[in-house]
Chains A and B, each alone.
Chain A
Amino acid sequence: MDHNVQLYRRMVTIRRFETLLIDQFKTGVFPGTTHTSLGQEANAVGVLAHLAEDDVVVSNHRCHGHFLAYGGDPQALFAELMGKPSGVCGGVGGSQHLHWRNFYSSGVQGGTVAMAAGMALAEKRAGRGAIVVDFMGDGTLGEGIVYECLNMISLWQLPILIVLENNHIAQTTPASLAVAGSIQKRFEAFDIPTVELDSSDVLEILPLAGDLVEQVRTNREPRALIISTARLGAHSKGDDTRSTSELTGLWQTRDPLPILGERLVEETRNAVEADVEAVIQVAFEAALAADGGTQ
């Protein structure tokens, strides 16, 4: 398959998963709440395309996209969100606490950065050559432990790529009310080489992330990638306080799917979308048919 088509397919997989999830939440098959990756698909796909088998991924509360881009099974994720034994973590962890192979996510802001730093320290000591990719958001910059960890990540030259997805909003609070100064300079203050990219184009994210992954892998040093992005959905299900015009504008300019999709042959694009639609539907129904969870 053409590489761009493959990237598109991965992004559509995340998109269809999340839209079906939001649609089906109303029916009561999913307990609790969830956070979706709508609008941030290109980050997950563009970065994780570069992982080697032993590499470790640490993600946060908004982790479905990362999990699926890592290669996680949509059916197991649906089942997890339904609280079923067949879920990724037996239905215990739910939306924000996933662990499968070398993928880990957790829901308390900041703590995942410490987890990721510890894993990078373990990998450095083991000398296996693996690296850690840690996803965090702009909202997490409010947590003190982040700075404790950036300090140690730099002091100990840990093999970690921090991917900061700056969607400019933390739940309902715009970054202008929560983040002072420069994000890039935060990392640079700790001598962590940092690149900033304002794009929802996976074809721009992909090579940049590839370079940084390579630098971390080769030099056994930390790097940071700040991706200015857009959260197209609510924080969780329906708690979006942004204006319709703001959201419409974001959908028109920052949706990663048409940004890549428009560069594909239309027939191919339609075929991918139809195929993924079917795959996600089958995954959902299979998860729903499994025993346990909400009844």
Chain B
Amino acid sequence: MTSPTPRTVLDSLNLGLHQALHDDPRVVLLGEDLLDPYGGAFKVARGLSSAFPKQVLTTPISEAGITGIAGGMALRGMRPVVEIMFGDFTTLIADQVINHLVKFNGMYHGQAQAPVVIRTPMGGRRGYGPTHSQTLEKYFLGVPGLTVLAPFNLLGEAPLGAPGQLLHETILNADSPALFVEHKLQYLLKLHSAQDLAEYSLSTLHMGGAIDCPFYSLRLKTAPAAQITLAAYGYMAQLALDALHQLAYEDEIFCELLVPTQLAPFELAPLFDAVAHTGRLLTIEEGTFSLGWGAEVLARTVEALGSGLRKAGRLAAREGVISVAPDLEAECLPGTADIVRRVREMV
């Protein structure tokens, strides 16, 4: 199939789904309100039910049920993709993920596998309030057997764009269940082309495995050696990139940004290499502070580098309810200004 060049993360994910449905008839997309003309609450599924009517199944409001059903489909050789409308609702699928999908392979002694891909948008900043704005992937990062992924808004080499490429590859190649974490504001982000990033030196490390999850590293080309390593993923990686730029031009503080796309299992070798040079690490995430992604990243970095890590910080959401009120919501969630402030404190 021919496809236009994707412009945004949303376009890219949509193309990735198109391509996956086209490439493999075993791929079936299940979720709520997926049918055209609606195409899902955030429109990631737009056009899919028209192009692949037999492979797109709109469902009742039954997150646990459809996730469990996807597990059964996968055990019998299909490649189901489940859309959970809001990331907040992943609490409803926790039993299906933790006690069912990730267990099948091990408890059946390798005689079965359940490569279900669960896609969901996390994140706030749209005024959706306490139960539709959270970033909950941290609760799934410690689930053995579950791969957790988050795309970054790069165009990349692939015609699908980097997010769509990662999704396409996960759907077709995963040999275990995967949680694919999107972000509501990330959908609208433009995919950075090589030209957009002309000012930056971008390196893409390929981590290997069933899904080739890139680990990105970005710094300003003309800048002196980085003084601090920033680690962020998904939408927060874009905010961190904005902060990196601002700090260089306003403060002459130079950062390197490390962006994993595979959050779990934790494979952080490129990050350790970067921190070995800077000695400073700030982790940045939109989930709440305690026991979050950053806590695990820092713990592992300390284990790997010991006193080579001289200064460490974690930036995360405040531990409270995310408000509808725009000012209160902004106070709760970390933004570019918060990243800038923390880096200034640390360098």
Residues of A within 8 A of B (CB): 56, 58, 89-90, 92-93, 97, 99, 104, 106, 108, 111, 113-123, 125-126, 144-145, 148-149, 151-152, 155-156
Known: A92-B106, A99-B108, A99-B112. A149 touches B68 (CB 8 A): yes
A89 touches B78 (CB 8 A): no
> Which of A104, A114, A151 neighbours the largest number of chain B CB atoms within 10 Å of its CB?
A114
Residues 60-76 of B contacting A (Cβ, < 8 Å)? 60, 62, 64-76
Beyond A89-B107, A148-B60, whether A108 also contacts B100 by CB under 8 A is: yes
A-B contact pairs, 8 of them (CB 8 A): A93-B108, A97-B103, A111-B68, A114-B69, A118-B69, A119-B76, A122-B72, A122-B78
A245–B57 Cα distance when bound, in Å, is: 53
Chain B residues with Cβ under 8 A from A151's Cβ?
60, 62, 65
Distance (whole angstroms) from the CB of A206 to the closest CB of chain B: 27
Chain B minimum-CB-distance residue to A102: B76
Most buried by A among B67, B74, B75, B108: B108
A-B interface contact total, Cβ < 8 Å: 113
* Beyond A97-B107, A122-B76, A145-B95, 17 additional pairs, beta carbon < 8 A: A56-B76, A89-B111, A93-B107, A97-B108, A114-B65, A114-B71, A115-B75, A118-B73, A119-B75, A122-B72, A125-B28, A126-B76, A144-B64, A149-B68, A151-B60, A151-B65, A152-B69
Chain B hits for A116, CB < 8 A: 72
B65, B73, B77, B100: the one within 8 Å of A149 (CB): B65
**Once the chains bind, are B59 and A152 in contact (CB under 8 Å)?**
yes
For B106, list chain A residues within 8 Å (CB): 92
- In the bound assembly, the distance between CA atoms of A123 and B78 in angstroms comes to 10
List chain B positions with a Cβ less than 8 A from chain A.
28, 57, 59-60, 62, 64-78, 80, 95-96, 99-100, 103, 106-112
CA distance A266 to B206 in the complex (A): 72
Q: Is the interface of B mostly helix, strand, loop or mixed?
A: helix
Q: Which residue of A lies closest to B64 (CB)?
A: A145
Q: Are B71 and A108 in contact (CB under 8 A)?
A: no
Q: Is the CB of A89 within 8 A of B108?
A: yes
Task: Choose one: A90, A108, A119; the contact of B72 (CB below 8 Å).
Answer: A119
Which of B59, B66, B73, B109 is the one whose CB lies under 8 Å from A119?
A: B73
Provide the bound-state CA to CA distance between A121 and B65, in Å.
13
> How far, in whole Å, are A134 and B94 apart by their CA atoms in the complex?
23
Q: Write out the residue numbers on chain B whose beta carbons fall within 8 Å of the beta carbon of A120.
A: 72
Most buried by A among B60, B65, B75: B65
Contact A152 B65 (CB under 8 A): yes
One of B68, B76, B103 near A145 (C-beta < 8 A): B68
Q: Is the CB of B109 within 8 A of A114?
A: no
In the assembled complex, the CB of A119 is this many whole angstroms from the nearest CB of chain B, namely: 4
Bound state CA distance, A92 and B66, in angstroms? 27
Docked pose: A113 CA to B62 CA in angstroms: 14
Closest to A114 in B: B68
Return chain B residues, CB-CB under 8 Å to A113.
68
Residue of A nearest to B111 (CB): A99
Find chain A residues with CB under 8 A from B80 CB: 118
Nearest residue, chain A, Cβ from B28: A125
Q: A83 → chain B, closest Cβ, in Å?
A: 12
Report the 8 A-B pairs with minimum CB-CB distance, sorted nearest first: A118-B72, A114-B68, A148-B65, A148-B62, A122-B76, A90-B109, A118-B69, A99-B108
